[in-house]
């Protein structure tokens, strides 16, 4: 099963997905580079620059990581023409009431004139305490900034949800960005099928992309089929699973014998095998870039055979596990009206 040459969005544009050089499988190859948190500025800068130097052309920037300035610095220092990059940004949950302001701040922080894609990070709004989070010139962030990103009441562990804001209203604000030509496409993330159906019934613009947790233990087959029917491209976060450092996971993908055996056969890491599987499934995996060494793991992936692909898919018939639990706002995965 060969890697797809490209993934076309319903806007007519394509997410870069084809091999551009003989040596590297670039992020013109269906891989999204998720940049690490600004809690470690040098690593963020090094990882992003290493990716761009190595061939990465798809950068996924998340406001909640508070590292957009560092990403912008890496892009500038790479001297890669803007037209050769595919850059997406994300609207955080505390910014739903003023999407245009949040969007323009992201553009400014990244130092670019436009985004290829702007994504609503979650279909839920958090209360905003009214203070703008500032990142210093040294790109370091005070812990209080993270408290502002995840606002909690003084006597509760639950996050403060802004129940007056409906994601349909947020989406209308995102639609309003399109005429400015400052963003080429808009998308959503972490939607369930019922929420996505509600959005499509009440919107003018169909999302170009849906980013969800999907991997062999979280196939999301029904949602994937719905997206295919409506020409919504799927991007996969947590596509290679998570480590079990805290001992809370029931199963760890990279430790599965099937994955290990295929990895050994191809002389690849389990991480690479899972990334290849995600691409061949037709999704764009958003992979973590913790440091420069981790970035190298997105290169030189090897194609899986049809039989190997199916072996991995069958893992989902035996076990289902959501790795990202959305602590404090897990109700986002519920669909009660």
Model confidence pLDDT, tens digit, residues 248-306: 568 889 899 999 999 999 999 998 899 899 999 999 888 766 555 666 666 678 899 99
Do the annotations mark residue 319 as ligand-binding? no
User: Closest Cα partner for 274 from 295, 233, 302, 246?
Assistant: 302
The rounded distance, in Å, linking the Cα atoms of 319 and 169 is 37
Residue in the structure block whose two tokens are 């790109």: 139
Q: How many other CB atoms sit within 10 Å of the CB of residue 270?
A: 21
Question: Does residue 118 carry a catalytic annotation?
Answer: no
pLDDT in tens, 135-186: 655 556 666 667 788 888 777 777 899 999 999 999 999 999 999 999 999 9
Domain that residue 45 falls in: 7-333
| CATH code of the domain containing 59 | 3.20.20.100
- Whether 2 is covered by a domain: the verdict is no
- Whether 209 is covered by a domain: the verdict is yes
pLDDT in tens, 65-124: 888 888 898 899 999 999 988 899 999 999 999 999 999 999 999 999 999 999 999 999
- Burial degree of 130 (CB within 10 A; 0-12, 13-18, 19+): exposed
User: Closest Cα partner for 251 from 320, 179, 154?
Assistant: 320
Q: Which of 58, 63, 118, 191 is catalytic?
A: 63
What's the pTM value of the predicted model, to 2 decimals? 0.88
- Whether 1 is covered by a domain: the verdict is no
- Whether 204 is covered by a domain: the verdict is yes
- Whether 111 is covered by a domain: the verdict is yes
Question: Tell me, what's the pLDDT at 28?
Answer: 28
pLDDT in tens, 224-237: 999 999 999 999 98
| Number of folded domains that form the chain | 1
- Whether 166 is covered by a domain: the verdict is yes
- Whether 300 is covered by a domain: the verdict is yes
- Whether 80 is covered by a domain: the verdict is yes
């Amino acid at each position: 099963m060969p890697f797809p040459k490209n993934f076309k969005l319903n806007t007519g544009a394509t997410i870069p997905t084809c091999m551009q050089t003989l040596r590297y499988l670039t992020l013109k190859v269906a891989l999204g580079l998720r940049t690490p948190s600004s809690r470690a500025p040098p690593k963020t800068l090094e990882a992003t620059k290493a990716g761009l130097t190595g061939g990465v052309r798809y950068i996924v920037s998340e406001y909640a990581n508070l590292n957009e300035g560092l990403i912008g610095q890496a892009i500038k220092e790479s001297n890669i023409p803007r037209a050769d990059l595919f850059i997406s940004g994300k609207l955080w949950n505390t910014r739903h009431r003023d999407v245009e302001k949040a969007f323009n701040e992201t553009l400014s922080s990244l130092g670019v004139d436009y985004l290829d894609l702007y994504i609503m990070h979650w279909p839920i709004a958090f209360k905003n305490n009214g203070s703008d989070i500032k990142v210093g010139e040294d790109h370091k962030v005070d812990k209080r900034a993270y408290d502002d990103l995840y606002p909690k009441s003084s006597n509760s562990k639950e996050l403060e949800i802004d129940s007056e804001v409906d994601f349909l209203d947020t989406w209308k604000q995102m639609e309003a960005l399109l005429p400015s030509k400052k963003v080429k496409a808009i998308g959503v993330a972490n939607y369930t099928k019922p929420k996505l159906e509600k959005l499509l019934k009440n919107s003018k613009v169909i999302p170009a992309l849906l980013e969800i947790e999907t991997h062999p233990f979280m196939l999301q087959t029904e949602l994937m089929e719905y997206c295919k029917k409506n020409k919504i491209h799927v991007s996969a976060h947590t596509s290679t699973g998570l480590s079990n450092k805290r001992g809370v996971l029931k199963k760890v993908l990279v430790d599965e014998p099937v994955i290990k055996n295929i990895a050994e056969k191809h002389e690849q890491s389990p991480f690479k095998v899972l990334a290849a599987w995600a691409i061949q499934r037709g999704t764009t995996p958003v992979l973590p870039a913790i440091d420069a060494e981790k970035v190298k793991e997105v290169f030189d992936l090897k194609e899986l055979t049809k039989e190997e692909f199916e072996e991995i898919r069958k893992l989902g018939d035996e076990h289902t596990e959501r790795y990202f639990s959305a602590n404090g706002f897990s109700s986002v995965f519920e669909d009660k009206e």
